[in-house]
Amino acid sequence: MNRSKTVGEHQARKRFGQNFLVDNNIIEKIVSAIAPTPNQNLIEIGPGQGAITGPVLEKCPRLNVIELDRDLIPLLQKKFHQYPELHIHQGDALKTDFSQFYREGKPLRIIGNLPYNISTPLMFHLLSFSGQIRDMYFMLQKEVVTRLAAVPGDKNYGRLSIMVQYYCQVEPLFQVPPTAFRPAPKVESAIVRLLPYPEPPYPADDLQLLSRLVRACFQQRRKTMRNTLKHMLNAEQLEQLGIDLTRRPETLSVEDFVVLSNQIGALL
The rounded Cα 210 to chain-centroid distance in angstroms is 19
**Phi first, then psi: what are they for 189, rounded to 5°?**
-120, 170
Query: Are 25 and 140 within one domain?
Result: yes
What's the pLDDT band for 117 if we cut at 50, 70, 90?
confident
Taking all residues of the chain, what is their mean pLDDT, rounded to a whole number? 92
Q: How far apart are CA 69 and CA 90, in angstroms?
A: 7
Of residues 171, 128, 165, the one with CA closest to residue 252: 165
Query: Are 128 and 232 within one domain?
Result: no
Query: Are 167 and 232 within one domain?
Result: no
In a domain? residue 201: no
Instruction: Tell me which residue range forms the domain holding 100.
Output: 7-196
Q: What is the pLDDT of residues 226-238, one digit of tens each?
A: 999 999 999 999 9
Query: Are 158 and 212 within one domain?
Result: no
Query: Are 65 and 123 within one domain?
Result: yes
Query: Are 113 and 52 within one domain?
Result: yes
Q: What is the pLDDT of residues 23-44, one digit of tens each?
A: 999 999 999 999 999 999 999 9
Q: What is the pLDDT of residues 155-182, one digit of tens each?
A: 999 999 999 999 999 999 999 999 999 8
Q: What is the pLDDT of residues 62-105, one digit of tens each?
A: 999 999 999 999 999 999 999 999 999 999 999 999 999 999 99
Query: Are 192 and 218 within one domain?
Result: no
Choosing from 170, 196, 222, the residue where a domain stops is 196
Query: Are 190 and 222 within one domain?
Result: no
Choosing from 196, 219, 246, the residue where a domain stops is 196
Give percent of the chain above pLDDT 70.
Answer: 93
**Phi first, then psi: what are they for 88, rounded to 5°?**
-100, 120
Choosing from 137, 172, 196, the residue where a domain stops is 196
In this structure, which long-range contacts are made by residues 21-25, counting pairs with CB atoms below 8 Å and at least 24 apart in sequence? 21/48, 21/51, 21/52, 21/113, 21/139, 21/180, 21/181, 22/51, 22/180, 22/181, 22/182, 23/176, 23/179, 23/180, 23/181
Q: What is the pLDDT of residue 3?
A: 38
Q: What is the pLDDT of residues 245-260, one digit of tens each?
A: 999 999 999 999 999 9
Answer for the pair 183, 8: CB distance below 8 angstroms, yes or no. no
Answer for the pair 114, 46: CB distance below 8 angstroms, yes or no. yes
**Domain holding 114: CATH number?**
3.40.50.150
H helices present in 67-170, as ranges: 72-79, 119-127, 142-149, 159-167
Number of domains making up the chain: 2
Mean pLDDT of 180-205: 93
234, burial (CB in 10 Å: exposed 0-12, middle 13-18, buried 19+): exposed
